[in-house]
Structure 1
């Protein structure tokens, strides 16, 4: 709180006192009172007022300095009322009480919506669990009758439905990755082959050539989450591949402090104006409009999960040349050295 702001706030009080003293001074001059007496009266009049204002200003300056200090060093600003010191002067004490009451109301409001969010997430997870049963039954029926070409096409669509159902489940859990992860040693080669096998039918149907090279690195991460991330990237590479001569290559390289898994395709690529927005929630870009059926959630989820797992994610692309996605794992000798999530 600056002194000019304080004086401005007390302006009416000072002006009223000055006018009253001026009227009294004029009256005393009119009746012949000596200037020494008027001066002494002025000192007696204004000295207590000035002293009071100085003390009052120091008190308010300390109070607001404390508030600014707390706010500056606090990440979660809404916790600020709980950290205020107890004040001895009435205005500060009352102001603190008001802030704490507002804070309590906000907590109740947040709790209400948090409970709604938890209920909704529990419903989604239950729905995903229930929908998996008819999907599994349908796939079993298809396996027993896979000689028909139409049945094979239905199987392909069921696989896509299964992928979207999995995306819903991971989206509902994406805010709580730290509650559902196990950091352990992972063989990248096994994870990549598992994802490729999962999408093998799409590779065959679209006649996409696959190049696997130098994937013998060991990293420390959660196998379930990283498999989901890799699957989203491979699915995108397949979706936006060329009709003829499509190639998807996967390899890993070792840098000084990291292991980089590189997924590269020679597909349609991404517009330069879209490349910086591909990780935004719901963003589909030019390719989403041309190819359709894009939710804009795949890469958003990948980036969000990578950030929470302490894994880097970069994307480079040129239109009609292809896209390169790099998943960057920090190099760890033991699990304890991995990033604390």
Structure 2
């Protein structure tokens, strides 16, 4: 708020006072009043008016400056009505009451959508757990009827289970704190567990695995870490070279963190796609070429890593391979032995 805008808004008020004074001044001239008396009347008339306007301007300027400052420093702008001070002016109080009412209605509106979201998430989680029963039955049937067809069905069933797991983790990705259990996690044991889950892919594609350099212990949620690592290793096996494929997993300790790296010698990622690989739904050139990407896996890995307080970086060269690193900050509970 500036003085020019304030005077423009009060122009009618000033004009009315000037017209009234001009009428009274004219009457005083008609009754032969001297100019000194007219000047004195002008001062007596306009001194309180101008004083009032100056005080009002300063109050309004201070109020709007404070409001602007709060808005600039507020991440969630919709919280403004909850932290702003109630103004003294009538117009300000009316605006304040309106903002309070709209804020209340907004919270009720958000609450309704939050309830719907929770109900939907609970349904998805229930569905995921229920679908596991027919999948388990299907696996049992396959085990009792081993042949080339059932083996192929088993492979496709594994993909279905991975997509179902992805759905479950996606539905919980906004509520990690409710499903978060911190405990000691051996990176070597975690890596072996995930490699075992993907062993058939390594064997069928003839991919060599090197994890001799994996060591160390961190404190985090084992289930979420297993999901992240499984997605990353799964990506490495998807886009591996047809011959001489190799995945190398290693750990490295820096001064401030422990880095778990998954590196492959696959087809790599083109430069223009590198900055978008963590975006939701982005499949890129490789996804369109091979038709195996949903654009959700890396997005989920990034999102879950951030919520777990971990870093996730990716570098790649076309035709040479991809390197993904999970960065564990070293604190009082992150130790590398």
**TM-score w.r.t. length of structure 2:** 0.94
- Does structure 1 retain, via aligned residues, the 8 Å contact 2:218–2:333? no
Distance 1:32 1:285 in 2: 92
Quick check: 193-202 or 136-145, which moved more? 136-145
1:185 equivalenced with 2:184 (yes/no): yes
- Does structure 2 retain, via aligned residues, the 8 Å contact 1:269–1:320? yes
CA deviations over 1:185-204 (Å, ceiling 9, x no partner): 11111111111110111111
1:115 counterpart residue number:
115
Distance 1:23 1:289 in 2: 83
1:152 counterpart residue number:
151
- Equivalent residue runs for 1:99-110 within 5 Å: 99-110=99-110
1:334 counterpart residue number:
333
1:123 partner SS: helix
Structure 1 residue 23: Cα displacement: 4.8
Distance 2:102 2:126 in 1: 36
Distance 1:262 1:188 in 2: 11
Distance 2:220 2:74 in 1: 31
CA deviations over 1:96-122 (Å, ceiling 9, x no partner): 111100101111111111111111101
2:137 counterpart residue number:
137
Distance 1:22 1:292 in 2: 85
Structure 1 residue 28: Cα displacement: 4.6
- Equivalent residue runs for 1:159-178 within 5 Å: 159-178=158-177
CA deviations over 1:206-237 (Å, ceiling 9, x no partner): 22121222112111111100000000001111
- Does structure 2 retain, via aligned residues, the 8 Å contact 1:274–1:286? yes
- Does structure 1 retain, via aligned residues, the 8 Å contact 2:257–2:327? yes
- Does structure 2 retain, via aligned residues, the 8 Å contact 1:81–1:103? yes
Residue segments in structure 1 that go unaligned for 5+ positions in a row: none
- Does structure 2 retain, via aligned residues, the 8 Å contact 1:219–1:329? yes
- Does structure 2 retain, via aligned residues, the 8 Å contact 1:213–1:252? no
- Does structure 2 retain, via aligned residues, the 8 Å contact 1:183–1:221? yes
Structure 1 residue 84: Cα displacement: 2.9
- Does structure 1 retain, via aligned residues, the 8 Å contact 2:128–2:168? yes
Residue segments in structure 2 that go unaligned for 5+ positions in a row: none
- Equivalent residue runs for 1:252-331 within 5 Å: 252-331=251-330
> RMSD value over aligned CA atoms?
1.9
1:125 counterpart residue number:
125
Structure 1 residue 32: Cα displacement: 4.4
- Does structure 1 retain, via aligned residues, the 8 Å contact 2:263–2:321? yes
1:216 counterpart residue number:
215
Quick check: 232-241 or 89-98, which moved more? 89-98
1:248 partner SS: strand
Distance 2:63 2:257 in 1: 49
Structure 1 residue 31: Cα displacement: 6.0
**TM-score w.r.t. length of structure 1:** 0.93
Structure 1 residue 18: Cα displacement: 2.4
Structure 1 residue 26: Cα displacement: 5.0
Structure 1 residue 71: Cα displacement: 2.9
2:281 partner SS: coil
Structure 1 residue 73: Cα displacement: 4.3
CA deviations over 1:130-178 (Å, ceiling 9, x no partner): 11111111112222223x1111111000000000000000000001112
Distance 1:30 1:321 in 2: 101
